[in-house]
Structure 1
Amino acid sequence: MSKYHVVIPCAGIGSRFGSVIPKQYSQLAGKTVLDWTLEAFLGISAISSLTVIYSATDDLISDYIQKFPSVQFLPVGGNSRAESVFNGLKALDVSNEDWILVHDAARCCIDSRDIHSLIEALTDGDIGGILATPATDTIKKVDPASNLVVATIDRNLIYQAQTPQMFKYRDLINALSHVKLDLITDEASAIELAGMAVKIVAARYPNFKITYAPDLELAEFILSRRIIN
């Protein structure tokens, strides 16, 4: 029977965040971003293992290693997100048929109900998939040279990719081994380039990635309300 393993790349420096510390270590609602992210997955009994991929030069991770003894921490972070994930996959002791769920450390608002929905939607087949939200605004295609609109795209065809992104171990490691890792921004892109299908599972709850400092305020509001409820 296939198992489920979560991989969280946590080696980024968050250059757009504008802080002296990486965004995953920022405080909100009494915990850090990484605390919230890890706890979301640790509360799901179907998950067999949880692995954090961090940079060998990260001197802030030691507290988390002590705080989360059931989590595996691997200092194999690379120069890009995809490289970190690939390095982590190579270090895992899992079956080719096991499912890998890759999740951004900075998506701390992930709701356990969406994680369950993703697993339930994919577990009976071989096709992997991702959490995503349908576009709600009008989408414009722009000429980058002139910054002029060249087309309006049917928003019913557009989804904003999120994480977790869930694929069979054999498919994901094979796909990542055949691409330029510095050009890949998510696992689904590598799977697509390998000619494999990717299923969309619509997210029902807020799951944005903290990118800029003001994002912390919205995340704190969401998580604080979740504590109350």
Structure 2
Amino acid sequence: MAASDSNPNPRFYALVPCAGTGSRAGTSGPKQYERIAGQPLVWHTLAAFAAVKRIARAMVVVAPGDGFFERNPTSALVVPCGGATRAQSVKNGLYELRRVGATENDWVLVHDAARCLVTPELIDKLIDAVQGDEVGGLLAHKLPDTLKRDEDGRVAETLDREDKWAAQTPQMFRIGMLLQGLERAGNGVTDEAAAIESLGKRPLLVEGGAQNFKVTYPEDFAAAEIVLKGRMR
């Protein structure tokens, strides 16, 4: 029996790891709380998921002692169980989802807090593409640039870009399978798809688009603000 047939009505949960420090962003505090287009960055992220009616519940995983959401209430469930790595934060969040009633056969959409340009339409696109799949999948974007591998700061090799994709989020998998993958892959794995790959499975790639980038470096804030303000017109 296919995984998608084992429960005729699986639910969809959103899990937003929000415990990072944003060390590359050049901000004085966690980048997810910096203001973009008049609001904290993470507010834009959560608003996109709140607009998707199929999402049963959204959970935000923050670092212990993080008081942002105490000062700025949200309809999402906020849990202070963030770990030292993304994988730890996601794994801890999955256990919290189970604690509040999610089952191992329910879907979870894990999304970077700092990927604030995601839209409800992209989230729905991922759900539509993946909900009948036995493995799960992720938003990703075909790489347009020529790729170089370096050695000591010089080009060592030009890589074929034809089959290369940049992984994005959300990444959507069954809760039970993702927990199994994270346990196997360890705390150093950098995305959920890699954890699923550690089980010998091949996640589905769903085109996300160039605008669904992660705010990582100082110049990314200005680019994200331009896009968000353009959508508000």
Which amino acid in structure 2 is aligned with residue 191 of structure 1?
Answer: I
Is 1:153 the counterpart of 2:159 in the alignment? Answer: yes
Task: Measure, in 2, the Cα distance between the counterparts of 1:103 and 1:13.
Answer: 16
Please, what is the CA RMSD of the aligned residues?
1.3
Which amino acid in structure 1 is aligned with residue 30 of structure 2?
Answer: P
Match of 2:85 among 80, 103, 122: 80
Identity of aligned residues (%): 39
Q: How big is the shift at 1:153?
A: 2.0
Higher mean C-alpha displacement, 147-156 vs 130-139: 147-156
Deviations 1:72-114 (A, max 9, x none): 1101000011100000101113111111100000000112211
Q: How big is the shift at 1:205?
A: 5.4
Q: How big is the shift at 1:59?
A: 2.5
4+ runs deviating over 4 angstroms: none
Is 1:96 the counterpart of 2:101 in the alignment? Answer: no
Which amino acid in structure 1 is aligned with residue 157 of structure 2?
Answer: A
Q: How does 1:175-194 map to 2 (within 5 A)?
A: 175-181=181-187, 183-194=188-199
Q: How big is the shift at 1:125?
A: 2.0
Structure 1 unaligned spans of 5+: none
Is 1:112 the counterpart of 2:117 in the alignment? Answer: no
Partners of 2:140 and 2:209 within 8 A in 1: no
Match of 2:176 among 160, 170, 175: 170
Q: How big is the shift at 1:152?
A: 2.2
SS of equivalent residue, structure 2 residue 200: coil
Task: Measure, in 2, the Cα distance between the counterparts of 1:156 and 1:114.
Answer: 23
Q: TM-score normalized by structure 2?
A: 0.91
Partners of 2:109 and 2:173 within 8 A in 1: yes
SS of equivalent residue, structure 2 residue 215: coil
Q: TM-score normalized by structure 1?
A: 0.93
Task: Measure, in 1, the Cα distance between the counterparts of 2:149 and 2:95.
Answer: 38
Structure 2 unaligned spans of 5+: 1-8
Task: Measure, in 2, the Cα distance between the counterparts of 1:204 and 1:190.
Answer: 23
Task: Measure, in 1, the Cα distance between the counterparts of 2:109 and 2:158.
Answer: 33
Which amino acid in structure 1 is aligned with residue 61 of structure 2?
Answer: I
Deviations 1:36-95 (A, max 9, x none): 00000000001011000001121223123x2x2x31110100001110000010111311
Q: How does 1:35-74 map to 2 (within 5 A)?
A: 35-64=43-72, 66=73, 68=74, 70-74=75-79
